[in-house]
């Protein structure tokens, strides 16, 4: 079941102009913060890459079935089958399994609110906004605070359920003669559904499709009904790269700066694990680069926002100016971001950094040359041609 509520609001041109002026300060801050974010990210990326390269050069593979004292304090690679001494169990429900981790998910059937707005510019610079609030019932973890709904009447959610989602970890978890720490076990995330048995029912709960239900009728759910489901991370093969510390493992502190602790489900060679870690580092680097460029772009766009609002007195002019400022902001953000990244690389890898700077300034020179050429062409076109007599 779902319903909706629509609200139409208007904002005057003066109000929009005042808000846009206030956004100038925030935009300026966002623009300035983008520089250290980009700079830090390049240093982090190089530090991590160097640390992983250092680790790959130092790692030695050892057998999991026995602890070799001669490898104490060294970076080792181990692969083997995961084992647990006793089943992992829920401390509130009679549910257990031969697994590494038991994941309990508690959900309540409750009202949720989704908001969708569409704004339309009006002649004179004002705007009219149509906001639609959609209400529907969903299974959600925790409790959605319905008091903050735009229309809370008829959409009230009850108090939070008596149980909470929780993860239980087996102890000890071993790989051959080695014992994994809780931090290392937490990196194992490949889980499967664990249906519950009707014999484990408690507190007048019922079982349907392998889940517990606190409901009068699980087949006809109502707001306030609670269901409890489980997933389990089964014992399987695991591969680790870490410092051998007695019969367990600890992070390896690389001279380059990062601490290395690699855990992967399945059997993998040390080279494969380091390659995967390098690929993840590259992906994270590009994500943060994109975030830095977007911060710079958004900061610039917000800085020039008052000009757009001023032009919105005639909506068509405002739309065209907004597109122009958006393009200008993106090009400037992209150029400045590239230069910032290049300068950062000068400090960590000078040859690469200088090469990037040469490319950056060559691109800027080319753009300026094109701009001057177009300006000269327009000027020449504006000069009147003498009449032939």
Asked whether residue 251 is domain-assigned, the answer is: yes
Q: What's the gap between Cα 106 and its chain centre? A: 24
Does 262 share its domain with 299? no
> DSSP class of residue 64?
S
Helix ranges (H only) for the chain are 13-58, 182-186, 270-303, 305-311, 315-348, 350-382
pLDDT of residue 199: 72
Q: pLDDT (tens digit, 9 = 90+) per residue, 275-299?
A: 999 999 999 999 999 999 999 999 9
Asked whether residue 82 is domain-assigned, the answer is: yes
- C-alpha span between 159 and 180 (Å, rounded): 39
Most confident stretch, 137-146, 214-223, 362-371: 137-146
Q: pLDDT (tens digit, 9 = 90+) per residue, 344-353?
A: 877 666 766 6
Does 243 share its domain with 318? no
Average pLDDT, the chain: 89
CB 116 within 8 A of CB 98: no
Positive/negative CA dihedral, 159, 164, 135, 211? negative
Does 155 share its domain with 213? yes
Does 140 share its domain with 38? no
pLDDT of residue 330: 92
- C-alpha span between 23 and 29 (Å, rounded): 10
Does 204 share its domain with 299? no
CB 309 within 8 A of CB 21: no
Q: Which domain holds residue 185?
A: 62-111+136-266
Give, for 116, the enclosing helix (H) or strand (E): strand 101-121
Asked whether residue 244 is domain-assigned, the answer is: yes
Nearest to 154 by CA among 360, 5, 375, 371: 5
Q: pLDDT (tens digit, 9 = 90+) per residue, 3-36?
A: 898 999 998 988 888 888 989 999 999 999 999 9
Cβ count within 10 A of residue 136: 13
- Alpha carbon dihedral 140, 142, 145, 146, in 10-degree steps, equals 40
Asked whether residue 129 is domain-assigned, the answer is: no
pLDDT of residue 25: 93
Enter the tokens of residue 259. Answer: 């601490």
* CB half-sphere exposure, 260, CA atoms < 13 A: 34
Most confident stretch, 42-46, 121-125, 363-367: 42-46
- C-alpha span between 157 and 137 (Å, rounded): 10
Does 154 share its domain with 202? yes
Q: pLDDT (tens digit, 9 = 90+) per residue, 149-201?
A: 999 999 999 999 989 999 999 999 999 999 999 889 989 988 999 999 877 67
Does 356 share its domain with 285? yes
Helix ranges (H only) for 71-220 are 182-186
Enter the tokens of residue 134. Answer: 């959609």
Most confident stretch, 97-101, 240-244, 317-321: 240-244
The tally of domains found in the chain comes to 2
Does 304 share its domain with 236? no
Please tell me whether residue 146 adopts helix, strand or coil conformation.
helix
pTM for the model stands at 0.81
């Amino acid at each position: 079941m779902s319903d909706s509520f629509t609200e139409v609001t208007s904002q005057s041109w003066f109000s929009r102009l005042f808000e846009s002026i206030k956004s100038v300060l925030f935009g300026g801050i966002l623009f300035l913060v983008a520089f250290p974010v980009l700079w830090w990210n390049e240093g982090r990326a190089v530090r991590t890459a160097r640390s992983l390269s250092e680790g790959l050069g130092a790692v030695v593979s050892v057998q999991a079935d026995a602890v070799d004292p001669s490898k104490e304090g060294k970076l080792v690679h181990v692969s083997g089958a995961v084992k647990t001494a006793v089943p992992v169990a829920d401390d509130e429900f009679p549910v257990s399994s031969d697994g590494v981790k038991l994941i309990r998910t508690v959900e309540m059937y409750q009202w949720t609110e989704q908001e969708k707005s569409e704004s339309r510019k009006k002649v004179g610079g004002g705007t009219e906004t149509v906001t639609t609030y959609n209400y529907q019932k969903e299974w959600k973890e925790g409790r959605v605070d319905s008091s903050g709904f735009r229309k809370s009447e008829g959409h009230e959610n009850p108090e939070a359920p008596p149980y909470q989602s929780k993860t239980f970890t087996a102890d000890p978890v071993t790989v051959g003669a080695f014992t994994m720490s809780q931090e290392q076990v937490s990196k194992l995330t490949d889980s499967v559904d664990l249906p519950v048995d009707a014999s484990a029912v408690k507190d007048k709960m019922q079982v349907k499709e392998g889940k517990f239900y606190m409901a009068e009728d699980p087949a006809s759910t109502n707001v306030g009904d609670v269901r409890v489901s489980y997933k389990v991370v089964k014992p399987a093969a695991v591969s680790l790269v870490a410092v051998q510390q007695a019969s367990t493992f600890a992070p390896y502190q690389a001279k380059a700066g990062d601490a290395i602790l690699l855990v992967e489900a399945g059997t993998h060679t040390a080279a494969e694990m380091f390659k995967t870690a390098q690929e993840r580092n590259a992906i994270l680097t590009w994500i943060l680069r994109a975030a830095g460029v977007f911060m710079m772009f958004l900061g610039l766009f917000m800085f020039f926002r008052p000009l757009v609002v001023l032009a919105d007195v005639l909506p068509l002019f405002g739309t065209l100016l907004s597109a122009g400022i958006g393009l200008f902001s993106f090009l400037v953000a992209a150029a400045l971001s590239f230069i910032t990244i290049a300068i950062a690389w000068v400090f960590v890898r000078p040859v690469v950094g200088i090469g990037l700077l040469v490319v950056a300034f060559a691109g800027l020179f080319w753009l300026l040359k094109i701009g001057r050429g177009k300006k000269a062409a327009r000027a020449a076109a504006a000069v009147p041609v003498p009449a032939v007599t």
